Structure 1
Amino acid sequence: MKLISWNVNGLRAVVKKNFYEDIKQIDADIISLQETKLQEGQIEMELPDYYQYWNYAEKKGYSGVAVFTKIKPISVKTGMGIAEFDTEGRLLTLEFDTFYLVNCYTPNAQVELKRLDFRLDWENHFREYLADLDKEKPVVLCGDLNVAHENIDLKNWKTNRKNPGFSDQEREAFTQLLDSGFIDTYRYFYPDKEGAYSWWSYRFNARKNNAGWRIDYFCVSKQLENKLQSADILSTVLGSDHCPVELIIDVE
């Protein structure tokens, strides 16, 4: 099964570019999007082969996630059942026969880490949420998790130590997630690969110079380790400041 995850940074803008051609060429079984930035009824997707599921933020033009899947899920849940987190459209959980798919757009800690407390509170509750799911079925977590875990995961790590997405607290939260029983699938296959990024600032020719961050992930329950086949970062796919990330896994 081929899965992709992509922060599109505004779905209405991306579909005006090469989105449908890219999706057709990738030909994934499940497509998870983050930062769709729209409300219900604001777009009609031309994806006849896919079931479509959405979670919208209450705030217009903000956040939002979607999953398009060729395989109909058993059940679909928006949010994690905690009111303070569930108004921002950051989470979709799809239950399939042999696993849960969790599509996540993690809150950004923001400039000067002014939203760090909210972010860390999210992390703690989200880790518990995933652990509860994992007791029932293995979990495939994907999305923009808004953290570069190790120095190798961003170009200019020395100058970003206290910046959002690379603070010690956020990195530690990701370490705790992995320690709770999850695998960072890209690093599973490429533990030492440098220059592998999924997001580039629109400023300073960052993408042209590959001055990026790896903040988009597929993480899976350790019980799925023997099902992993490959992981990739599709850095040639344009249309957003993020590129899609891919996982191929035998969970059918």
Structure 2
Amino acid sequence: MKYISWNVNGIRACVKKGFLDYFYAQDADIFAIQETKCQAGQVELDLPGYYQYWNYAEKKGYSGTAVFTKKQPLHVHYGVGDHETEREGRIITLEYEDFYFVNVYTPNAQRDLARLAYRLQWEEELREYLIVLQQKKPVVYCGDLNVAHTALDLKNAKSNEGNSGCTVEERDKMSQLLAAGFIDTFRHKYPQATDRYSWWSYMNKVRERNIGWRIDYFIVSASLQAHIKEAEMHDMVLGSDHCPIYLIVEREKSI
């Protein structure tokens, strides 16, 4: 199975920059996007052969997630745990016969860390949610997780220590998730890789010089480890300040 995740930083703008060409060329089984920045009825995507599931933020032009899938899931859930909705449109869970697919746009702690406490509580609730799902069947968890987990995951690690996405607290939450039986698929395949990023500032020539951060992830249950065939970035694909990332998993049973 082929999975793709992409923070499009506004799907309407991304469509004008080649989103559909990339989408059709990839022919993914499941394609997840984050930061859609739209409301119901503001964009219509013609995606033959795909079911579409959208989670819109209440605030216009903000946040939002969507998943496009070739096979209709058994169930779709928006939010975490018993919450059927959440105001910022950040989570969609698709349940299939033999796994869960969870698409997430993690809240940013903000430049002055004003939202760090909220972010850490979010991480606690999400980890518990994923653990509960994993007790039932394997989990494929993806999205813009807004954290560079280790110094290998951003260009200027030392000077960014303590900044949003690079705080000890945020990194520790990622470590706790992985310790709970999950795998960072890119690091599993490329444990010492450097200069591999998924996000670059729009500042002048930052992307050209590859001064970036790896903050987009595919994280899977450890039970899927032997089935991970590839986990990489399409870092030459433009259209957003993030690039798409992809995961290929071979399973004994497919959806």
Fold conserved between structures, TM > 0.5: yes
Structure-2 residue corresponding to 1:102: 102
Q: How does 1:82-231 map to 2 (within 5 A)?
A: 86-231=86-231
One-letter identity of the residue aligned with 2:131: A
One-letter identity of the residue aligned with 1:136: K
One-letter identity of the residue aligned with 1:9: N
Instruction: Determine whether 1:247 maps to 2:247.
Output: yes
Paired residues of 2:6 and 2:33 also in contact (CA < 8 A): yes
Task: State how far apart, in whole Å, the 2-side matches of 1:167 and 1:56 are.
Answer: 28
Task: State how far apart, in whole Å, the 1-side matches of 2:173 and 2:204 are.
Answer: 30
Q: Deviations over 1:87-137 (max 9, x none)?
A: 110000000111000000000000111100000000001000000000111
One-letter identity of the residue aligned with 2:186: Y
Q: CA deviation at 1:24?
A: 1.3
Task: State how far apart, in whole Å, the 2-side matches of 1:149 and 1:22 are.
Answer: 28
User: What SS class does the counterpart of residue 102 from structure 2 fall into?
Assistant: strand
Say if 1:50 and 1:26 are closer, same or farther in 2 by CA, change over 3 A. Answer: same
Task: State how far apart, in whole Å, the 1-side matches of 2:152 and 2:70 are.
Answer: 35
Instruction: Determine whether 1:30 maps to 2:30.
Output: yes
Say if 1:81 and 1:131 are closer, same or farther in 2 by CA, change over 3 A. Answer: closer
Task: State how far apart, in whole Å, the 2-side matches of 1:52 and 1:4 are.
Answer: 14
Structure-2 residue corresponding to 1:44: 44
Q: CA deviation at 1:204?
A: 2.9
Structure-2 residue corresponding to 1:12: 12
Structure-1 residue corresponding to 2:233: 233
Instruction: Determine whether 1:65 maps to 2:74.
Output: no
Task: State how far apart, in whole Å, the 1-side matches of 2:232 and 2:166 are.
Answer: 22
User: What SS class does the counterpart of residue 123 from structure 2 fall into?
Assistant: helix
User: What SS class does the counterpart of residue 58 from structure 1 fall into?
Assistant: coil
User: What SS class does the counterpart of residue 235 from structure 2 fall into?
Assistant: coil
One-letter identity of the residue aligned with 1:196: R
Task: State how far apart, in whole Å, the 2-side matches of 1:9 and 1:236 are.
Answer: 16
Structure 2: stretches of 5+ with no match in the other structure: none
User: What SS class does the counterpart of residue 111 from structure 1 fall into?
Assistant: coil
Task: State how far apart, in whole Å, the 1-side matches of 2:95 and 2:171 are.
Answer: 28
Task: State how far apart, in whole Å, the 2-side matches of 1:236 and 1:245 are.
Answer: 11
Q: CA deviation at 1:17?
A: 1.3
Structure-2 residue corresponding to 1:3: 3
Percent identity over the alignment is 57
Task: State how far apart, in whole Å, the 1-side matches of 2:17 and 2:76 are.
Answer: 29
* Poorly superposed stretches of 4+, deviation over 4 Å: none
User: What SS class does the counterpart of residue 112 from structure 2 fall into?
Assistant: helix
Say if 1:82 and 1:148 are closer, same or farther in 2 by CA, change over 3 A. Answer: farther
Q: CA deviation at 1:82?
A: 6.4
Paired residues of 2:4 and 2:247 also in contact (CA < 8 A): yes
User: What SS class does the counterpart of residue 135 from structure 2 fall into?
Assistant: helix
User: What SS class does the counterpart of residue 183 from structure 2 fall into?
Assistant: strand
Q: CA deviation at 1:180?
A: 0.7
One-letter identity of the residue aligned with 1:179: A
Q: Deviations over 1:189-228 (max 9, x none)?
A: 0000110000000003111000000000000000111111
Structure 1: stretches of 5+ with no match in the other structure: none
